[in-house]
Amino acid sequence: MKPPSTFFASFGYAARGIWHSLRHQRNLRIHVSLALPTAALAWLMGLTRLDWIVVIVAMALVLSLELINTGVESVVDLASPAFHPLAGAAKDAAAGAVLIGAAASAVLGVLVYMPYVRHFGRHFMVRWQESPTLVIAWGIGMAVSYALLWILVPCRKQSEGGPNQTGGTP
């Protein structure tokens, strides 16, 4: 692949990589599926600016790690089509990074949302009274997003990860 001819072309390559990963990586779709209601709840509960920052950074961390994991798996499968223990270790390490990021994000989520949970009904009613149309639009947007994410976007994986997976037979 040749380097981007312009600064703005690199954004197109990045978008293409995200799109490809969404289409071929179930785990990325799962993480996006969890990020959508997380953002909706943040809005419904009226999180503070600092809480929003924590939530956004946590979501970005997990999604970024999942994209890096996808890249590592693709390069390992390309470089080592036959089983090799080091190739499997590289893929496992990348998956471990995603697991650590997701666990940390879950802990952050509990810490951020816990003070708001007791008053969820009140927060929801405040949003509803401010703009019921916007609350309904959020719900419809979530439904459409899930339909796109799980029905229209996915295609069959080109490979099931190759032979370099832990527990696989050489």
Cβ burial 84-122 (10 Å sphere, 16+ → b, else e): eeebbebbeebbeebeebbeebeebbeebbeebeeeeee
Residue 81, φ and ψ in degrees, nearest 5? -65, -30
The residue from 66, 73, 130, 160 that is catalytic is 66
Active site residue 66: yes
Q: Which of 11, 59, 64 is nearest to 37 (CA)?
A: 59
As annotated, the active-site residues are 66
